[in-house]
């Protein structure tokens, strides 16, 4: 570990040439408001980009010793890029936030302090708690609501929002979880939370202010179907026992896929 680094904030970046510099500068400024200068780093997890993101990330790391650029020659996928960066980060508290800063950085100190001072293993922002302030169009809100209901029902999760790109982890806990995380893309967040809950880790979900700054990079058809299959895979891994018959498994699995397709169909209109 780099001496003195307590908090590592990872920004996953795939073709973020228009946003990454402003994001890194804003995160550095926010962290400096509540942490000593040598107590944090910002890690750009650059995921096989084909725009100017690598060039910008390299320049930022050369200009500021608190910034690190972790490059991948090929596209890893969002989840795998996060895992790759976390394994190479220096902090004892590992944080990530999406590069578009949809979640207000005014929530960042709370995110860090939940793990740093409140003795939780994981902190996660939520757009679906009553106190959350969210400005989201219906075409994104309905699929998100349906997805979270599906995860809570099928995977017996206690969380309201599984996909908010705003999370913090105790390093020891995340190191223990990562070998069990199979997804390499968008389902990574959900799988981490569900498996943390099943293992009895202390997870705090708290409300955030959230405003989308651009269209989502999620492909409504391909990624929604893929995440439906990942729900099925995770359910199978965690819940199937000798008492569950093959017929019941096929029936429930088919239901999950059908519900996912219906959500995609609705959101595409």
pLDDT at 225: 73
Q: Which residues are catalytic?
A: 189
So where are the chain's domains? 7-135+161-214
pLDDT at 260: 59
Q: Secondary structure of the chain in the HEC alphabet?
A: CCCCCCEEEEEEECCCCCCHHHHHHHHHHHHHCCCCHHHEEEEEEEECCCCCHHHHHHHHHHHCCCEEEEEECCCCCHHHHHHHHHHHCCCCEEEEECCCCCECHHHHHHHHHHHHCCCCCEEEEECCCCCCEECCCHHHHHHHHHHHHHHHHHHCCCCCCCCCCEEEEEHHHHHHHHHHCCCCCCCHHHHHHHHHHHCCCCEEEEECEECCCCCCCCCCCHHHHHHHHHHHHHHHHHHCCCCCCHHHHHHHHHHHHHHHHHHHHHHCC
| Superfamily of 7-135+161-214 according to CATH | Spore Coat Polysaccharide Biosynthesis Protein SpsA; Chain A (3.90.550.10)
Please list the ranges in the chain whose pLDDT falls under 50.
1, 241-243, 267-269
- When the pLDDT of each residue in the chain is averaged and rounded to a whole number, the result is 89
162-173 per-position pLDDT tens digit = 999 999 999 999
């Amino acid at each position: 570990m780099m001496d003195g680094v307590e908090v590592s904030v990872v920004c996953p970046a795939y073709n973020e040439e228009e946003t990454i510099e402003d994001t890194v500068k804003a995160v550095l400024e926010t962290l400096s408001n509540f942490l000593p200068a040598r107590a944090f780093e910002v890690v750009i997890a650059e995921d096989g980009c084909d725009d100017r993101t690598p060039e910008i990330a390299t320049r930022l790391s050369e200009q500021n010793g608190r910034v690190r650029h972790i490059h991948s020659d090929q596209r890893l996928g969002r989840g795998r890029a996060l895992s790759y960066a976390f394994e190479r980060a220096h902090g004892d508290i590992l944080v990530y936030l999406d590069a578009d800063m949809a979640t207000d950085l005014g929530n960042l100190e709370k995110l860090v302090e939940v793990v740093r001072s409140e003795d939780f293993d994981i902190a996660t922002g939520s757009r679906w708690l009553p106190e959350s302030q969210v400005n989201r169009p219906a075409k994104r809100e309905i699929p998100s609501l349906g997805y979270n209901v599906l995860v809570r029902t099928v995977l017996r999760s206690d969380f309201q929002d599984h996909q908010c790109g705003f999370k913090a982890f105790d390093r020891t806990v995340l190191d223990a979880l990562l070998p069990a995380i199979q997804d390499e893309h968008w389902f990574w967040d959900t799988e981490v939370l569900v498996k943390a809950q099943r293992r009895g880790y202390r997870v705090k979900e708290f409300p955030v202010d959230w405003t989308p700054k651009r269209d989502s990079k999620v492909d409504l058809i391909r990624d929604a179907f893929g995440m439906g299959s990942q729900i099925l895979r995770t359910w199978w891994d965690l819940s199937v026992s000798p008492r569950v018959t093959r017929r019941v498994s096929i029936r429930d699995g088919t239901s999950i896929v059908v519900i996912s397709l219906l959500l995609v169909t609705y959101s595409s209109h």
